[in-house]
Amino acid sequence: MPILSGAQITMEVLVKEGVELIFGYPGGAIMPIYDAMLDYNIHHVLTRHEQGAAHAADGYARASGEVGVAMATSGPGATNLVTGIATAMLDSSPIVCITGQVPSQVIGTDAFQETDVTGVTLPITKHNYLVTEIAELADTLREAFYIARSGRQGPVLVDIAKDVQNEKIEFQWIDKPVKLPGYRPDMSADQRTFQEAADLINNAERPIILAGQGVIASGAMAELLKFVERTNIPLSMTLLGLGGFPASHPLNLGMMGMHGEAWVNTAIQESDLLLAFGMRFDDRVTGNLANYAKHAKKIHIEIDPTEIDKNVKVDVAIVGDLREMLAKLTSHTDQGNRKEWLSKIESHRGDSAVRDIKHMPDMGHLYAAHVIHDIWRLTNGDALVVTDVGQHQMWETQYYHHDTPRSLITSGGLGTMGFALPAAMGAKLSCPEKEVWVICGDGGFQMTAAELTTLAQENIDLNVAIINNGYLGMVRQWQEFFYDGRYSATPMLSPDFVKLAEAHRATGIRVSKREDVETAVRKAQSTPGVVVIDFEVEKEDSVYPMVATGADLDDMIRRPKPEIEW
């Protein structure tokens, strides 16, 4: 058996786990691993901030369905990963973060760049480890990948003491399944439960499916389509579920929740059966829980048993992988005919056309909806879009229609500004054949704009659309609606984004008129490297509809009807 250092063993395990790409930033406590990395066929991307490394690994994981890997040194390097780890945790994204730690003999002495990163990240990881014995290193790393990718996926952190990285030991790769006491990621419901659910479905008159990210994570797209078309039940999507069911399908009603479609929220409140598939009843989806779908029975299929009855009490719970569970459930259901219910939902659309892109006044102004609609049109809806967080994120869901899974990557649960640019880098590297667009705000873009130089160093083709309204837009909207228009700390001065792009070796374009949008998008599509388009849009536009915090789901603030019909 060969004698390898802990650093070499780390790289050996990464290769065996199929890792081809690492995002990271070196430092003293992890230098042995970085030195060993030179002898292995794994490409390292040097991000300009460790937060960028975590987001890039996250974007890689979401776009590919594989585990993303981020790496950092101890102390500030490790703590800079925290926001990215928390983002992955809230959105169930499988990443493994490997951090260096001070030598085991000085842990606890406040040594230089020492931080208890396992303590810091305990609440925001699926699991984490501190490795102080080289004999445990290989098994620990294997367990980390197994935990990250199995069951309800999520981030795992492995903190490796520097002396373990330097120490040497005989190493032999043992290719056997990982088994952990008490950890049961594979569960299945009994036959009786499927029949109970099927009885509710077959007898329902006003059912709606609530489809979440679990559809994409389990690869249940075909099974969901078969179920929908067999039962003829209309479907609504969560933010992270978008793309799991074709937006163009006639039974897809659109997104639900705080900024979802008004007719969807109304229909949910009027339904007699909710079928929750791979979603967790987040507060942005339900509104006021006390009045949420009060007259509806509820069926919940979910891989994580802790989500059952956590926010919403359900009548039938099916715990297991959605793809498998949905296939079994479909075999128990009858062919559905729900024309009356579908007709009623259609009537709820009512004056929704006032929010449609065709009816938004131009009058020389550029609206974010114009920009996003045109990007959708000019990419034929085939781009992989990565958004930041804020108004532009919600406009993207309304005006870019996703027909395929993993075509929208966004921070949902944590709502992390600065997520988009580094996450898009990871997504593009995992899917180099795809056209990738970042849609971000002027605020969030500035949080991680330094990653433009990482993109340049890696020769990555990427297009960035900055929805620049001169405000922290979503906060400004809340201030307008709920704080009497008192704009506290939301007006913001930004740099010249064209010059900033050029300083980072990217191409910069500025657009302030709608007639120039198509030219700019076409130029971005044909220009190699990174193209940043600064879209100077209407400053005080708002996202409609909106369910205020604590309000009932169907109690929505609607866009005022335009005075002039367009």
Residue 162 is among the residues annotated as catalytic for this protein = yes
Q: How far is CA 154 from the centre of its chain?
A: 12
Element spanning 110, H or E: none
Side-chain-side CA neighbours of 233 within 13 Å: the count stands at 34
In whole angstroms, give the CA distance from residue 350 to residue 558: 12
- Helices (H) and strands (E) in the chain — how many of each? 23, 22
Residue 363 is among the residues annotated as catalytic for this protein = no
Q: ∠ CA(408), CA(227), CA(434), 5° rounding? A: 25
Element spanning 502, H or E: helix 497-503
Tokens found for residue 59: 């974007």
Contact 139, 111 (CB under 8 A): no
Residue 187 is among the residues annotated as catalytic for this protein = no
* Catalytic site residue from 113, 226, 229, 435: 113
With CA atoms as reference, report the closest residue to 565 among 389, 267, 360: 360
* Catalytic site residue from 105, 112, 133, 313: 112
Tokens found for residue 55: 């987001």
Query: Please, which residues have CB within 8 angstroms of residue 192's CB and are 6 or more apart in sequence?
Result: none
Collapsing DSSP to helix, strand or coil, 29 comes out as: helix
Contact 73, 28 (CB under 8 A): yes
Collapsing DSSP to helix, strand or coil, 386 comes out as: strand
With CA atoms as reference, report the closest residue to 466 among 391, 416, 398, 526: 391
Residue 269 is among the residues annotated as catalytic for this protein = no
**Terminal Cα distance for the chain, rounded:** 76
- Residue pointed to by tokens 């109970």: 196
* Catalytic site residue from 8, 11, 12, 50: 50
* Catalytic site residue from 474, 535, 546, 556: 474
> How many other CB atoms are there within 10 angstroms of residue 557's CB atom?
17
With CA atoms as reference, report the closest residue to 533 among 435, 476, 462, 457: 462
DSSP characters over 220-259: -HHHHHHHHHHHT--EEE-TTTTTSS-TTSTTEEEE-STT
Collapsing DSSP to helix, strand or coil, 66 comes out as: coil
Collapsing DSSP to helix, strand or coil, 160 comes out as: strand
Contact 366, 512 (CB under 8 A): yes
> CA gyration radius for the chain?
24
Residue 194 is among the residues annotated as catalytic for this protein = no
Tokens found for residue 68: 């993303």
Tokens found for residue 497: 């984004």
Annotated catalytic residues are 50, 112-113, 162, 474
